[in-house]
Amino acid sequence: MLRDIDNYFLQKDEPVKSYLLAMRDLLLRHDKNITEAWKYGMPFYCYKEKMFCYLWTHKKYEQPYLGIVEGERIHHPLLISEKRARMKILLLDPEKDIPLKTIKTILKEALSVYKT
């Protein structure tokens, strides 16, 4: 029986499905203290059991994105807050390669918030 979190990824159409699965793998490999959880009906990634980031698909743009929980404390030109008070998102284009350098920079900065 599949878990809800696995179903979330598998029910997506390509190329979004493959893109989100690659992002999932990238997040879980980024730091040994990052774990996956199903919260609020979406895949969340926790750092030492604190909510860190999540993967979702933007309704308006129909693009996958990486949501950073403590986004308001991170200053990166590609992160957008829209109407969120705390979180910021990084829109991702599933037709292009994953911007590894950008994502690793954002994750490093986000992790520094949790480590201090």
The position carrying tokens 């190329």 is: 15
Give every strand in the sheet of 88-91, ordered side by side.
Answer: 34-39, 42-47, 50-57, 64-68, 88-91
Residues of the chain with pLDDT under 70: none
Contacts of residue 47, defined as CB under 8 A and 6 or more positions apart, other chains included, come to 31, 33, 34, 111, 114
DSSP-assigned beta bridge partners for residue 36 = 45
Give the count of domains, the chain: 1
Which pLDDT tens digit goes with each residue over 51-66?
A: 999 999 999 988 999 9
Q: Give the structural domain span for 41.
A: 4-115
Q: What pLDDT shows up at residue 71?
A: 95
Reported pTM: 0.93
Q: What is the CATH number of the domain that holds 39?
A: 3.90.1150.200
